[in-house]
Structure 1
Amino acid sequence: MTSRISVLCIDALEPRVVADFWCRVLDWRIREEADGGITIGPSDPALPGIDVFPVPERKTLKNRLHLDLRADGSTTEEELRRLLELGATRVDVGQPPDVTWTVLADPEGNEFCLLQRTVQDL
């Protein structure tokens, strides 16, 4: 027997802002809202989702866990432009200048990476 990832959790001062951002990035939908938290995920409820829960404190340190994304159906450059238009920002977490990924943050500063190779390149 093994365990299976059910959901990832993101803390947020404004859960709606963060949940809406990730829904647009991933083309997901809101699955449930309860007790101030919002669960988002793909249309298949058997696949893992993301819980966004309210916390009173602002994020101050680099994430110890983050998401890595790949462009799917577009180029990496097009996807980077789209993510920035959705509200992502470029961030420096100490990565060398010649890395093959771009480090970004969601509207509350949670880091994630856009990898160079697209889904179609794999």
Structure 2
Amino acid sequence: MNYDENSKIFKALSDSSRLKIIDILSCGERCACDILEYFDFTQPTLSHHMKVLNECGLVEVRKEGLWNYYRLNLNNCNKLTLFMMNLVTETKDCICKDKVKLNSGKGCSLTEF
């Protein structure tokens, strides 16, 4: 699991406006002007949010004339979902597996963390 890469994505998603943008784009590609209708901020602020989402790989952009159209990068969104599922689920790749082996099979408890 790539903790550093995914932590950047979670940081991008820590803003409620960006979460809302992801929700809007889950319905399909949208023009920036259509996304802006859901918010009470300016176009430069939307551009900043879209830049952050694009740079972390969750959103793709295409230009058509003067307009920018945004859509989810479903491949990366699915990878993030799988990362999160693996993070909260005990798997063979769990980081604790190595610690348990090092402790000669002793179980771990929450107080050790």
Q: Same fold (TM over 0.5)?
A: no
Given the two structures, how large is their TM-score scaled by the length of structure 1?
A: 0.28
Given the two structures, how large is their TM-score scaled by the length of structure 2?
A: 0.29
Name the structure where helix makes up a greater proportion of residues: 2
- Pick the structure with greater CA Rg: 2
Name the structure where strand makes up a greater proportion of residues: 1
